[in-house]
């Protein structure tokens, strides 16, 4: 029954264009991302979900979640440091 409830929640979030990231039940909508240009980040809104079986019945917990994604890659940062004349040893 728990698997059935989890599938219902997942299907509802998938219909709203949310994508599951990672193996934990956290879902984020990449289409509604908010850029934070000052820090070169993107903020993705999302939800985390948990279903548990208790003695009184089932417990469904849906909570808001936010994921911050850095726009620069590690390679971009390394190239930036090399452009500032840092040596490989300093990097």
Q: How much is the pLDDT for 46? A: 95
Distance CA 90, CA 12 (A): 49
Which residue, chain included where needed, has tokens 């979640």? 65
Whole-number pLDDT of residue 7: 86
**Predicted local confidence at residue 8, as pLDDT:** 87
Measured CA to CA, the distance from residue 6 to residue 10 in angstroms comes to: 6
- For 4, the enclosing helix (H) or strand (E) is helix 2-15
pLDDT at 1: 72
Report if pTM > 0.75. no
pLDDT of residue 58: 86
pLDDT, averaged in runs of 10, over the chain (91 residues): 82 91 87 93 93 87 92 89 86 79
3-state secondary structure of 32: helix
Q: Looking at the chain, how many residues does it have?
A: 91
* pLDDT value of position 56: 86
| 79/73 Cα distance (integer angstroms) | 10
**What's 68's DSSP letter?**
E
């Amino acid at each position: 029954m728990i698997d059935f409830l989890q599938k219902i929640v997942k299907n509802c979030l998938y219909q709203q264009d949310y994508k599951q990231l990672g193996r934990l039940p956290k879902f984020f909508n990449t289409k509604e991302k908010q850029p934070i240009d000052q820090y070169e980040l993107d903020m993705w809104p999302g939800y985390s979900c948990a279903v548990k079986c208790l003695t009184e019945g089932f417990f469904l917990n849906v909570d808001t979640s936010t994921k911050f994604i850095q726009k620069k890659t590690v390679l971009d940062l390394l190239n930036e440091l090399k452009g500032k004349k840092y040596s490989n040893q300093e990097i």
